[in-house]
Amino acid sequence: MELTWYGRTCIRLRGKDAVVINDPYPSIVGPTGRGITGDVVTFSHPDDNHPPKKATKLSRDGGTAMPTSLEASFVLDGPGEYEVHDVLVTGIRTYRDNDKGAARGRQTAFVTELDGIHTIHLGDIGHELTEEKLADIGRVEVVCVPIGGALTAATAAALVAQLDPKIVVPMPVCEDEADCDEALKKFFHEMGAEPQVQPKLSVMPSTLPAETTTVLLDSRGKA
């Protein structure tokens, strides 16, 4: 499986049989998606910017305009268990704050199984997980976690410890680059190790690291 980061919470998972795109908001990848394509699209929460009135296709909840290059994709934006294009995807109800969505609303974290690798995309989550949610999620090898949003660095690291993955992919979500740099620095300190920096992540069950490893990816979505 190949994992690529397109900025903020936009992640592409490319497997042998299918491509899954997490959170491909037009504000990240541009109205045409900059060529980004996929078989399955997941939205953790509606876009914070209202979709344009002339949007040709919206997510199921009507809150996000689809990049035109993804209009033919199968869209998931809520909890449940799905099998699409031979890909298993599980949506877990979570929240964008630590008060069950009272401040910033609900969202969905998605677990995707591709090429024998279980990846959880935490979206813009704002809290640690209960034992019930951890049981719903099950085993994961790769965790994509937002940094610089509602989570403090300590809470983000605690959330990663709960999930106990082999690989952690931080997704900086700050508006200001300097703020993101500071948030990442604090997160790496909490994790106790400097990250591996690389353009994209290619991983198979046989190549998973023995210890939890943080991988900082270059953003493909930057101009």
Residue-wise pLDDT for 100-131, tens only, equals 999 999 999 999 999 999 999 999 999 999 99
pTM confidence score: 0.93
Conformational region of residue 115, where left means phi above 0, alpha means psi within -120 to 50, and beta covers everything else: left
Phi first, then psi, for residue 71 (nearest 5°) are: -65, -25
Q: What is the pLDDT of residue 184?
A: 96
Strand ranges of the sheet holding 106-114, from the earlier edge strand across to the other edge = 80-84, 87-95, 106-114, 117-121, 142-147, 167-172, 213-217, 196-198
**CB atoms closer than 10 angstroms to residue 43:** 27
Tally the residues of the chain. Answer: 223
> Which run of H or E residues covers position 184?
helix 177-191
Give me the residue spans of the domains in the chain: 2-217
- Of 151, 216, 222, nearest to 3 by C-alpha is 216
- Torsion sign over Cα 206, 207, 212, 217: negative
Compute the distance between CA of residue 149 and CA of residue 55 in angstroms, rounded to an integer: 27
pLDDT of residue 100: 94
The average pLDDT across 50-76 equals 75
For 2-217, the fitting CATH number among 3.60.15.10, 3.40.50.300, 3.20.10.10, 3.90.1260.10 is 3.60.15.10
Residue 63 pLDDT grade (very low, low, confident, very high; cuts 50, 70, 90):
confident
Q: In whole numbers, what is the pLDDT of the chain averaged over residues?
A: 91
How far is it, in rounded angstroms, from Cα 151 to Cα 66?
Answer: 27
The tens digit of pLDDT for each residue in 124-142 reads: 999 999 999 999 999 999 9
Task: Please report the pLDDT score of residue 55 as a whole number.
Answer: 57
Tens digit of each residue's pLDDT (9 = 90 or more) over 156-175: 999 999 999 999 999 999 88
List, for residues 18-60, the tens digit of each pLDDT value: 999 999 987 777 665 567 899 999 999 987 776 666 656 767 6
